[in-house]
Amino acid sequence: MGPAGVERHHEPPYRDIPAWVRVPGLAVRIRVPGRRLQRRVAAGAMAAGVVVTALATAGLLSAGRPGYVAGAPPPVTSAPHGAWVASAPQTAAAHVPRPVFLTIPAVGIRTPLLRLGLTVTGALQVPPTTALAGWYGGGPRPGATGPAVIGGHVDSRAGPGVFFRLHLLRPGDRVYVRQADGRLAVFRVTVVRSYPKARFPTAAVYGPVPTPQLRLITCGGAFDWARGSYLANVVVYATLLA
């Protein structure tokens, strides 16, 4: 059986930082006490087109991605070129080269892949940076028989994470995993689900399956400020194409 879930996200989400005003379309976040005053300042900043970064609180900075606008369509990302991995089931993950790069054109995701293990509590580790995704080294590799798992952050106090738009995937979208030998394991999204972390379906996500499949996992749902974590996980299920 695989990990019990995904390690909790201990940073407040970019989109829910309290007492800060974020102006859509601008690199603006201004610390303002009081809801009413926050709304007035946001409206004034939008009208004036002022670009301000407030540094009063360490770590609470504007998004580090140039050109990022909340709610904007994902950046255009083309599908990678290369030979596809055959869809014939592999009997062991050791026969499949390690994954090195992930591309998801439909939501503009491009990231190198790190190897992830388990925490002391048996949960899947999260990557040390929000800019990169990682694959679970204790399970099948993408392209091998079974459910390969790739995890990444949704966001942090500094801005959107690599899987910020993962929840926007739809059935039929393609996911490309570049292997160390240069070939591509190409998957088709079948379903996107959101699960409360308290009821994470470990068997469905990590349990054995007879074909090569992929699971993409990030945080989602509401952010619990008392616990310092999101309350749900977004899981994307995908199957290997021929």
* pLDDT value at residue 11: 52
Give the residues across from 114 on adjacent strands: 134
Dist. CA 162–CA 131, nearest whole Å = 5
Query: Could you tell me if 217 and 149 are in contact, meaning their C-beta atoms sit under 8 angstroms apart?
Result: yes
Instruction: Report residue 125's pLDDT band, with 50, 70 and 90 as the boundaries.
Output: confident
Average pLDDT over residues 116-141: 92
Is 8 contained in some domain? no
Average pLDDT over residues 220-225: 90
Q: Domain range for residue 86? A: 67-240
Dist. CA 111–CA 135, nearest whole Å = 11
* pLDDT value at residue 193: 97
Count of domains forming the chain? 1
Is 27 contained in some domain? no
Average pLDDT over residues 167-196: 96
Here the CATH number for the domain that contains residue 142 is 2.40.260.10
Average pLDDT over residues 19-47: 44
Is 95 contained in some domain? yes
Question: Model pTM?
Answer: 0.71
Is 54 contained in some domain? no
Is 21 contained in some domain? no
% pLDDT > 90, the chain: 52
Instruction: Name which of 34, 33, 24 is nearest 63 in CA terms.
Output: 24
39: left (phi over 0), alpha (psi -120 to 50) or beta: alpha
Instruction: Name which of 11, 242, 27, 241 is nearest 126 in CA terms.
Output: 11
Q: With DSSP H G I counted as helix, E B as strand and the rest as coil, what are the percentages for the chain, rounded to 5?
A: 15, 35, 50
* pLDDT value at residue 235: 97
Indicate the helix (H) or strand (E) that contains 35: helix 35-48
pLDDT, greater one: 111 or 30 = 111
19: left (phi over 0), alpha (psi -120 to 50) or beta: left
Average pLDDT over residues 53-62: 25
Q: In the predicted model, is pLDDT for residue 183 greater than 70?
A: yes
Q: CB-side exposure of 177: number of CA atoms within 13 Å?
A: 31
Q: In the predicted model, is pLDDT for residue 130 greater than 70?
A: yes
* pLDDT value at residue 84: 78
Is 94 contained in some domain? yes
Average pLDDT over residues 83-100: 72
Which range, 47-56, 58-67, 73-82, has the best average confidence (pLDDT)? Answer: 73-82
Q: Which residues of 185-219 are buried (b: 16+ CB within 10 A; e: fewer)?
A: bbbebeebeebebeebeeeebbeeeeebbbbbbbb
* pLDDT value at residue 45: 40
Pairing of strands 29-31, 212-224: unpaired
The neighbour count for residue 232, using CB atoms within 10 Å, is 20
Query: Minimum mean pLDDT among 5-14, 98-107, 126-135, 156-165: which range?
Result: 5-14
Query: Could you tell me if 33 and 179 are in contact, meaning their C-beta atoms sit under 8 angstroms apart?
Result: no
Is 193 contained in some domain? yes
Average pLDDT over residues 67-80: 64
**Token couple for 216:** 């993409």
Which range, 11-25, 91-105, 145-159, has the best average confidence (pLDDT)? Answer: 145-159
* pLDDT value at residue 4: 58
Query: Could you tell me if 122 and 1 are in contact, meaning their C-beta atoms sit under 8 angstroms apart?
Result: no
